[in-house]
């Protein structure tokens, strides 16, 4: 024979559960729970490195290598559209682009830095760099994101790599945009 259900006991248990849920979601308790969770997440994601000792970079793909430029020099990122070639320019300047009414030269870093060609690439992004009055674009295959890296983890570059600020532990090559913009080869002053 089937046992009978004690409906009074069921109602009492249901009332106790509802009361417990009502107490658990009071605004003060919700705020306390969220504050604890936020503090825990901040502790887990933090590097423990003071903000001034971090370097924020925009990372991009160039061939098989990953490069970065300090974000303070990166003005914008655009898809490559309507590249216009120019006569009397070095081979590392494939042309110019019109970005919001401003004409900027485009630099192919592989050619400028004398890097070996890595086969066919799909350079379809422009990273607009700016320091002082100097503004130009560099070609990139893809934009990989913005990251903050502790300066203490950036290793000094090898001698002879004048345009490299350093190398991050994951083999990310950080460009020295300051030295890059000071390079006289970027100033084209020839007449046809």
Overall average pLDDT of the 1-17 stretch: 85
Q: Which phi and psi (to 5°) does residue 65 adopt? A: -100, 155
- Cα–Cα distance measured from residue 124 to residue 139, given in angstroms and rounded to the nearest whole number: 7
- Cα–Cα distance measured from residue 59 to residue 74, given in angstroms and rounded to the nearest whole number: 11
Percent over 70 (pLDDT), the chain: 80
CB contact at 8 A, 109 and 139: yes
Among candidates 164, 58, 68, which has minimal Cα distance to 112? 164
Q: How many CB atoms lie within 10 A of CB 127?
A: 25
In the chain, what are the domain boundaries?
A: 7-45, 51-186
pTM of the complete model beyond 0.75: no
In angstroms, how far is CA 96 from the centroid of its own chain? 25
Give the side-chain half-sphere CA count within 13 A for 80. 22
pLDDT at 8: 92
* CATH superfamily of the domain spanning 51-186: CheA-289, Domain 4 (2.40.50.180)
* 186 vs 61, higher pLDDT: 61
Tell me the per-residue pLDDT of 60-119, one tens digit each, with 9 for 90 and over.
888 788 889 998 999 888 888 888 888 888 888 888 888 888 888 888 888 887 776 665
- Cα–Cα distance measured from residue 22 to residue 19, given in angstroms and rounded to the nearest whole number: 5
- Cα–Cα distance measured from residue 95 to residue 126, given in angstroms and rounded to the nearest whole number: 12
Q: What is the DSSP letter of 166?
A: E
Residues in the chain, overall count: 192
Overall average pLDDT of the 118-144 stretch: 81
**1 pLDDT exceeds 90?**
no
**10 pLDDT exceeds 70?**
yes
Q: Between vectors from CA 135 to CA 130 and to CA 140, what angle results, nearest 5°?
A: 80
Token duo for residue 10 = 């069921």
């Amino acid at each position: 024979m089937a046992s009978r259900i004690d409906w009074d006991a069921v109602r009492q248990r249901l009332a106790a559960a509802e009361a417990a849920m009502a107490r658990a979601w009071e605004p003060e308790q919700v705020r306390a729970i969220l504050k604890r969770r936020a503090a825990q997440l901040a502790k887990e994601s933090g590097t423990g490195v003071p903000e001034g000792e971090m370097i924020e970079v925009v990372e991009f793909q160039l061939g098989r290598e990953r490069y970065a430029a300090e974000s303070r020099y990166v003005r914008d990122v655009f898809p490559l559209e309507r590249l216009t070639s120019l006569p009397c320019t070095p081979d590392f300047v494939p042309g110019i682009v019109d970005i919001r009414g401003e004409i900027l030269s485009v630099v192919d870093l592989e050619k400028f830095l004398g890097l070996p060609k890595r086969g066919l690439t799909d350079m379809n992004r422009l990273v607009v760099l700016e320091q002082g009055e100097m503004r130009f674009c560099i070609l990139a295959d893809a934009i990989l994101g913005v990251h903050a890296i502790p300066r203490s983890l950036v290793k000094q570059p090898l001698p002879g790599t004048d345009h490299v600020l350093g190398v991050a532990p994951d083999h990310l090559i950080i460009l020295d945009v300051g030295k890059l913009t000071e390079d006289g080869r970027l100033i084209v002053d020839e007449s046809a």
